[in-house]
Amino acid sequence: LFVVEIPFQRSTKLRQNDCLPFTPQLDQRSILLVEDNLTNQLVIAKILKRYGADVTLAANGEQALRACEKRRQQDQRFDLVLMDWHMPVMDGLKTTAILREDPFYENMAIVGLTASVMAEDRQSCLLVGMDEVITKPIDRRKLLSCIQPLLPPLLSDQAQAG
């Protein structure tokens, strides 16, 4: 039997590359999830709802445009749109381009979802007006850390700051 004792002291300081705990705040957030794959819809919606988001589903770009128009009739827009690129009926690039043509939606955050990891495909998404692109399969932490900074401040946050 051979025993080695190595004394060490636990540091209370964070190293520069250590991750800080991250708790996303999605309460009171309206998110439009535009995704044609039912499994992806279920997984992503479950993640978002777990953190308090109000999720609206659309299976293609035409449904997404109708959902946006419905909210617009109430003088509201979604806080964020998660937009799949490749869908039947109308794809995410065309849908994003249509939304970005309308000044009402110019500040609405749109995040692309794609299985492609090619830099050119990411650039295509950004050029039509997507704010960010997330590759599939969707990782919970990557999704949440990507969308959190894109969300507009809540009205209650603005009142406290002002």
Q: Is the pTM of this model over 0.85?
A: no
Burial class (CB in 10 A: 0-12, 13-18, 19+), 37: middle
* CA atoms of 161 and 153, how far apart (whole Å): 10
Residue whose C-alpha is closest to residue 136's, from 87, 97, 85, 91? 85
Planar angle of CA 73, 56, 147, nearest 5 degrees: 105
Tens of pLDDT, residue by residue, the chain (162 residues): 666 666 655 544 444 444 444 566 788 899 999 999 999 999 999 999 999 899 999 999 999 999 999 999 999 999 999 999 888 889 889 999 999 999 999 899 999 998 877 788 888 888 889 999 988 888 888 899 888 888 888 765 444 444
